[in-house]
Each structure stands twice: as structure tokens, then as C-alpha cells.
Structure 1
Amino acid sequence: MAKLVSPLRPVMFSSELTEIAFSTEFPETVFELHGQDGETLVSTLYYPAADGTVVVYGLDRIIETAVVNDSLGHFSIHADGETLYEFAVLPCPVAVESPASEFLFASFLTSVVNERDTAVGRYECLSVYNPEGLPVNVTASYMDYEGRIVVREFPDQSPVNPGTEISCYNVSPVRFNDFATGELIGIEVSCGPRRQRYRVISAPYQHDPALIFRNCFGCWETIFLCGIKETDVGFTRSAAMINGKFVNYDLEEIITYKASTGPVRYGNDRLARDLARSMDVFLLKNDGTPGVRVTITDCDVKTDNADDTIQSFSFSYRRASLRQTDFISPAPYRIFDNTFDLTYE
């Protein structure tokens, strides 16, 4: 008979499953990991230690590849022909300070728990695991034309991906902009005990580019790079003597970009590391959807704890497509930005 030694919980991060220990009375045992549909993902024969303990390593990597984005994977482990435990897993390759059973019911699925900076023209999305079905509310703060703070409530927001276990919400400031009330200066998103605050900047630096990517929880996250952007073009030429002439017979052109966040607030180092480790990075389109896929080739996300440090991070990237785009037709001049329609253009 087998029994668990490691404490498991009904909901866990994959990083909590780097090793699982169980004990058995038999001289050899078969350990199995089953998926949600009963498929056997792992089946291995183990020989226990002298005290009957078996330690299984690396289940986190196997589980991460078996879970679809915006959902939890449901698994069960078996030994000696018996079911030891059934649990749900959210892919997370980083070690979180608190277990998933606490974090998921107290926080949104983002690594930035501090107040974040945004602007009216920026797309912001926020994901949450909400099995309780609690409403997601937004509280917007305005500075009216007499210098007073006015607060408005926007209750029960609708997710942009209904029908999934992890709901994603569009919390872009433009959705809560109200010139009749005043200038939007901040929003707070709440879902039960979960809170996420945004400071709305009236005159932000121009971003180039804006990126949308899968964060460490497999959820969509946006980042706006407002610092210096460099463009470099590399050519790889292959040449040979052909018909008595030394000519190029093949040429490969690769355009690489290096963009900086510019000065950012405390806590954005986690967001920068999320982008650096992400496998799914796209240019952000104006409607908030992923555009051209890009590949991060290098990054500088170094920081320190000096009192006078101003955090800034940079990323080198290229388009994932084999064909690089070198010419982009300019957009027609507009009097107003994209938050307005084309009525008076």
C-alpha cells in the first residue's frame, strides 16, 4: 500500500511539483501520472529506498506541456495500482512565495502586485482564477474641473474570453474615461479580496513598441517600451566564382531591434523578467489583440537595491517570420489619436 509523503493540495502551481515523495510497502512500485481524460502521461517502475520512500522529480516540466493556456490542468497520481491524489495545476515555471491555494484566491494572475502606471491610450488586460464566480468591479477616480476627487463605480465587468476557467478582462483606461466627470487619474480593479491599482498618467511618453505576451501564469500581459529604440540590420552573404565572376549567390537579411522601457516604477522588474522568459511574445495591435510574433533574443533586466536607482530595462528582439519587413507604409496623418473616431478627420 502506498501513501503520500509530500503535502499536496487541490490546486497547485506546477513549480510546487518539482518533486513528489511517497512511501510504499513493496520492494518495487509503478508510479503513474494521469491527465484529465485518463491518459497516462508518466509510467515508471521505481525501487524504493530502505525506508520505503520514493521521490519523483521533474513532474512540473511534464505537466506544463500538458496544460492549455487560460485553464487549469487536472491530474491524478497513482502508485501500486491505487489513486494517491487528484489535483488541478496552473502552469507557473517560477517559484511563488505563497502556495497556489492561497495566491489564486487573493491575487490577480499578474506578477506586478504594486500600483501600475498606464495611460488612456493603452490597452490593459487582467486575468483571474475565479471559481467562486465573484463579480469583477472597477472603481475609477477622476479629478473634476474644480480640483476635487470624484469616484465612480463600474460593477460586474464582462470577460473577453467567456467559457474558460481563467477569465481575462479588458481594464483599459479608455473604457472608463468620462470627460463630463473630469480627468481620469486612477482605476482599481477588484474581485473579492483581489485588488489591482493603476495610476493613469495624463501625458505619458510615446511607446514603441507595445508588446503583449504570456506571463508566468500563462495569461496575457502587456508592456509598453517608452525608452530609446535602436534598429540594426545584419547581412549574411554567400559568394562564389560563377562563370568567371565572384558574385553573391545568396543573401540573408535579419533586422534586430533593441528597445528600452525607459524609467519605470518599483515592481516592474518582475514584469520585465516575465517578458524575458516568455515564449509567446507579439506586437500589440490597436484593438488589443496579438499582432506580429516576435522573438526576444537578448535582454538586460538587471536591478539593484540602491536608494537612488532608477529602474530601466531593455530587450533585443526580431520578428519571428523568416521574411523581415523593412518597409512600412506610413499611416495617414490624424488630428486626434486612436481613442477618437474618424468623424472630424
Structure 2
Amino acid sequence: MLTIPQDIPDFVLSSQLDNFTISADKRVTFVLKQANTVILQETYTQDTSNQIHILDLFSLMEPYLIGSPMLQFSYEVSASSETTISKTFTVLLCRPIIPCSGVDFVTNYFLTTLAGRDKITSFNRTETLYLTTGSLSSGGTTIPVTAECVFVNDQNQLLKSTRSLGNVADYGIRSIDVSPSRLTQSGYRLLRYTILAGARKQTFRVDQDEPESVGLKFRNSFGCVETFYFVGGDTVEPELTRNAAYFAGQYKNYYVDEQRKHTLNTGYIPEGMFNLADDVARATEVWLMDESDDIPITITESNTSRSDEDDGLFAFTVSYIFASRYQQRIRLLPDIFDDSFDDTYN
């Protein structure tokens, strides 16, 4: 008899797709598809327990999910003289182990490893959150997004205010601009704000010092482009490799290869941001946020080690090089005056 002892849910996180078991007393043909593309088609023979185990199912789907983090897949299981079993299901890219069902996670959390823990931000920074309901088609509704803000003035008087950030569709993966610059109040400074979207909740605490920082964009564990800012400094270590030979009796360099390693320090960050720092370190797609454009970089080293024996204050580092062969970057001086400036007396 052909059965599936534990079927795949209609919506599932990719990290929860480990082993797929088929119970059968005869040879079975298994077909896995993404849309009309066949990913795997194999015929298997059952073991002595009349079971077939297909291991590490996620590794077959990951190449498709990297390009589009939430996709629909289907499988078909057939055996001679048996009724064919088939199912279509939706998978969301998720690299961490999540201790709840996929539906519970996307209902209660934004798509970030912060998982509801506070994040430090500042007024000169870009912040984006992502959410999904797990559906690829509209249910005919929208999700309202609000910001609960706490402001303070020069007399240390607090002002609480709730702002609408609009509505997002109830299908696919949706992004929300939650940068602190969107939340202002005349005569007051923003202290903190909490973004609410259904049961999802994310609090940002605003650093009033507005420290200089180096911003990175990275594709996080859910396939979404998130931001992280390093305030602990930037160290540059150029390494030059020279190739030389004799030309017409003169010893000359004919090629110089440069690897310009940058090391960024997070500065001390709260414990709630540790997972986010880990996510940056493991990212395979990272961009340096620049005034002109985002620059692709490659992370070459990282140090995100910590111990629960310490005081809980940790600073992490990552090292990167530009992904381009050209490692030098020239900053141009900005225009101080525009063409309307009167330079009669210059």
C-alpha cells in the first residue's frame, strides 16, 4: 500500500524540509517539480521496513528559492496498481531552525532573524521590514501597517503618537520602508518606535548621537535585502602582489594585483542584535551602501564569537573586499555652489 506517513504542510519553511518518507511495499517513482520544471525524477526500492527516505529535500529546492524566496512546488508519488499521490505546496526560504510551524512564524514575525527583538537605528539610516502571509495569491484583503512612536522634547516631555504607514497586500513577500526619517514631530526628537502589522511587532531604538557609520545591505536568511550599520570603525589593509620580468634589459612590473581588505567593527551592540550580526557574516550577497550607488562586496572573514560568561557586551567584526577586480574607489568632492551662485567678485 502506498502512503505518506507525514505529509508536507501546504505552507512550509525550507529549513523544516529535511526527510521525506514514503511507505510502500513495492518500487515507487517520485517526481518533484517547481511549476513545470522537473527537479527530481527517480524510482526507489523500499527498505526492509517498507519505507523510502528521500533525504535533505531542501537542497534540491534551494537553487530555485535563492532567485525567488517563496515559490510553489509539487510532488507526485506513483507505484504500479496503486493510486497516485500528489500535492502542491508553498516553500519560503528560511535558513535558521524555527521552533514553530511556518504559518505561525509568518503570522507573528517579520522576515528577519531579529524575531521581534529590538534594533538600534539612527536618523541617517535606511530600515526595511518584510512580511508575508505565506500565500502567493490575493485573499482580497490588505494588512494595515502602523508605527507607535515615542518622542521627547528639550524639556524631557514625552509624546506618544501612532502613525499609519499604509497598507500592504496579503500575498507574496511585501516590503515596508520603516526608516526613522519617516517619523517626525515638530519640536520633538524620536526616541523609539514600534512597527505593527497584524500580530507582527518590531521595535527600533533611535541613537540620538547619530554616530558615523558604514552601512551594508545583505540578503538575509529569508532571501530579503536587509541593512546593518557598523559604528565601530573601518580599517583598510591593502595587499599588493607584483609580477615582474626583464624587458629590454630592464626589470619592470608588468602586473600589480591588489586586494584591499576592509574590516568593519559593529561597536557594542545589544544581545538582541547578535543573530542579525551572524546573518551578515554568513550572507553570500552583500553591498556597501554608497552615496552614488550600492557596491557589491565579498565578505572574506568574520568574528562573531561570544560567551555567556561575559557581561553581555560584544562587538563583532567582518572583513570584505570589493567584488570587482578594481579595488580602488575615488570619492569626488561635492559641488559647494550650484550654477546660480554669483561669482562676480571671484
- In structure 1, which of residues 302, 325, 329 is the aligned counterpart of residue 328 of structure 2? 325
2 CA distance for matches of 1:78 and 1:318?
A: 45
Tell me the amino acid that sits aligned with residue 190 of structure 2: L
C-alpha contact (below 8 Å) 2:271/2:312 kept by paired residues: no
**8 Å Cα contact 1:137-1:153 kept in structure 2:** yes
The residue number in structure 2 matching 1:189 is 195
Spell out the pairing of 1:244-255 with structure 2 (5 A cutoff).
244-255=249-260
Larger mean CA deviation between 210-219 and 243-252 belongs to 243-252
Distance, in Å, in 2 between the alignment partners of 1:185 and 1:156 is 18
2:173 is equivalent to residue 175 of structure 1: no
SS at match of 1:60: helix
The structure with the larger Rg is 2
| Pair 1:269–1:253, CA change in 2 (3 A) | same
Question: Is the Cα contact below 8 Å between 1:260 and 1:312 reproduced in 2?
Answer: yes
2:158 counterpart (149, 157, 172): 149
Q: Deviation at 1:57?
A: 1.3
Secondary structure of the equivalent of 2:150? strand
Q: Which runs of 5+ in 1 are unaligned?
A: 335-345
Contact 1:3 1:84 in 2 (8 A): no
Aligned mates of 1:266, 1:244 — CA distance in 2: 62
Q: Note the C-alpha offset of 1:324.
A: 1.6
Q: What amino acid is aligned across from residue 33 of structure 1 in structure 2?
A: L
Distance 1:67 1:330 in 2: 42
Which residue of 34, 44, 51 corresponds with 2:42?
A: 44
- Give the C-alpha shift of residue 193 in structure 1: 0.9
Structure 1 residue 228, shift from structure 2 partner? 2.3
Gap regions ≥5 residues in structure 2: 136-140, 338-346
Query: What is the aligned-residue identity percentage?
Result: 23
TM-score by length of 1: 0.88
Q: Quick one: distance in 2 between partners of 1:128 and 1:45?
A: 38
The offset of 1:133, in angstroms, is: 3.0
Task: Find the aligned partners of 1:223 and 1:333 in 2 and give their Cα distance.
Answer: 30
Task: Give distance in 2, aligned partners of 1:96 and 1:129.
Answer: 16
Instruction: Determine the C-alpha separation between the residues in 2 that align with 1:68 and 1:229.
Output: 30
Distance 2:113 2:77 in 1: 36
Residue 212 of structure 1, CA deviation: 0.8
Per-residue Cα deviation, 1:12-66 (whole angstroms, up to 9, x for no partner): 111111221111231x21111111x222111112111112111111221221211
Deviations 1:119-144 (A, max 9, x none): 11111000001356321111111114
1:166 corresponds in structure 2 to 173
Map of 2:311 onto structure 1? 308
Structure 2 CA distance, aligned partners of 1:138 and 1:318?
37
Are residues 1:20 and 2:20 paired?
yes
Matched to 1:221, the amino acid is: E
- Counterpart Cα distance in 1 of 2:277 and 2:2: 43
Instruction: Show the counterpart of 1:340.
Output: none
Aligned amino acid, residue 295 of structure 2:
V
1:276 match: secondary structure: helix
- Report what 1:337 is aligned to: none
Following superposition, the deviation at residue 164 of structure 1 comes to 6.8
Which residue of structure 2 lines up, in the alignment, with residue 90 of structure 1?
92
The letter for the 1-side match of 2:31 is: E
* 1:285-341, Cα deviation, whole Å (9 max, x unpaired): 459xx701111001001011125131111000011111122432234579xxxxxxx
Distance in 2 of aligned mates of 1:250 and 1:184: 53
Map of 1:229 onto structure 2: 234
Matched, 1:77 2:75: yes
Q: Give the structure 2 partner of residue 64 of structure 1.
A: 62
Structure 1 window deviating more from structure 2 (256-265 vs 88-97): it is 88-97
Aligned mates of 2:68, 2:38 — CA distance in 1: 23
Which residue matches 2:210?
204
Residue matched to 1:2: 2
Work out the CA distance in 2 between the residues paired with 1:312 and 1:332: 37
| CA contact 2:124–2:210 (8 Å) conserved in 1 | no
TM-score under structure 2 length normalisation: 0.88
Deviation by residue 1:109-162 (Cα, 9 ceiling, x = unmatched): 111121111111111000001356321111111114543321212225256xx7
Q: Secondary structure at the match of 2:58?
A: helix
Displacement, 1:242? Answer: 2.6
CA distance change for structure 1 residues 97 and 286 in 2, over 3 Å: closer, same or farther?
A: farther
Contact 1:139 1:154 in 2 (8 A): yes
The alpha carbon displacement at 1:69 in A equals 5.0
User: CA 1:71–1:245 in structure 2 vs 1: closer, same or farther (change >3 Å)?
Assistant: closer
1:99 maps to 101
Structure-1 separation of matches of 2:237 and 2:334 = 23
Residue in 2 that maps onto 1:238: 243
Other-structure match for 2:344: none
**Which consecutive aligned stretches of 4+ in structure 1 deviate over 6 angstroms post-superposition?**
none
